A and B are shown apart, each in its own frame.
Chain A
Amino acid sequence: GNSVTQMEGPVTLSEEAFLTINCTYTATGYPSLFWYVQYPGEGLQLLLKATKADDKGSNKGFEATYRKETTSFHLEKGSVQVSDSAVYFCALMYSSASKIIFGSGTRLSIRP
């Protein structure tokens, strides 16, 4: 079946460090891939997305590239800030069904 596996947390980094949160997926066909973010006390927000192989999604300094050959969609940011502290969810969706399958989430904490 379809599934998403992402890096276990929590992840703690110092401000300005480089961030990678790994995400791999198992799916038939060509799903759309997403990263969602949940800031403390807030709702779920779409951070970025990619809809086909080799697409790169980017937003707020975060990037992720849809890698079909490795079935991956790793999230990266060159220099994290304290305000990036949140829980990050990798997810996939098939357009026809619009159902989203979420990874387990990775809690990120950034130290000043």
Chain B
Amino acid sequence: SAVISQKPSRDICQRGTSLTIQCQVDSQVTMMFWYRQQPGQSLTLIATANQGSEATYESGFVIDKFPISRPNLTFSTLTVSNMSPEDSSIYLCSVVGLQSNEQFFGPGTRLTVL
């Protein structure tokens, strides 16, 4: 299984600022995704992080609000831009390994926007 780390693990931010979340995997993976879990809710896919090209966003999510980078096979970043209290959520990175179609999730980044 893949070991995934996310930084920061949690943060408290002011309205109008931006936060970049990092996701690092200990092995090469085929696909990387970013999910959001709002308080008391299920997980919603934000986008697929594509290596070396623009991310593929799900309905309701746009690049200007959630810019994503994936410079190589083991690292990705998600930025939450111009934050508002409605962005308070847990943001999770997930990956699909090279050897199987199983998806592994990172520990999440708990974001609180004041």
Interchain nearest-CB distance for A94 vs B (Å)? 9
Question: For B30, what are the chain A residues with a Cβ–Cβ distance below 8 Å?
Answer: 98
Question: For B72, what are the chain A residues with a Cβ–Cβ distance below 8 Å?
Answer: none
Q: Do the beta carbons of B92 and A98 come within 8 Å of each other?
A: no
Measured in the bound complex, the distance between the Cα atoms of B43 and A89 in whole Å is 9
Contact size range, B? 20 to 34
Q: Do the beta carbons of B101 and A93 come within 8 Å of each other?
A: yes
Which residue of A is nearest B104, CB measured?
Answer: A46
The answer to whether the Cβ of B33 comes within 8 Å of any Cβ in the partner chain is: yes
Which of B44, B96, B108 lies in contact with A98, CB distance below 8 A?
B96
The answer to whether the Cβ of A27 comes within 8 Å of any Cβ in the partner chain is: no
Measured in the bound complex, the distance between the Cα atoms of B43 and A42 in whole Å is 15
Q: Could you tell me which residues of chain A, from 32 to 61, have a CB within 8 Å of some CB in chain B?
A: 32, 36, 42-46, 49
Q: Do the beta carbons of B42 and A98 come within 8 Å of each other?
A: no
Binding site secondary structure of chain B:
strand
Contact size range, A? 10 to 19
Measured in the bound complex, the distance between the Cα atoms of B43 and A93 in whole Å is 14
Q: Could you tell me which residues of chain B, from 43 to 71, have a CB within 8 Å of some CB in chain A?
A: 43-45, 48
Q: Do the beta carbons of B48 and A99 come within 8 Å of each other?
A: yes
- B12-44 Cβ-contact flags toward A at 8 Å (1 or 0): 000000000000000000110100000001111
Q: Do the beta carbons of A32 and B101 come within 8 Å of each other?
A: yes
Interface centre among B30, B42, B104, B107, by most chain A C-beta atoms within 10 angstroms, is: B42
| A-B residue pairs in contact (CB < 8 Å), sample of 24 | A32-B101, A36-B105, A42-B107, A43-B107, A43-B108, A44-B92, A44-B108, A49-B102, A93-B101, A95-B101, A98-B30, A98-B31, A98-B33, A98-B101, A98-B103, A99-B48, A100-B33, A100-B43, A100-B103, A101-B45, A102-B42, A102-B43, A103-B42, A105-B42
Q: Which residues of A contact B (CB under 8 A)?
A: 32, 36, 42-46, 49, 89, 93, 95, 98-105
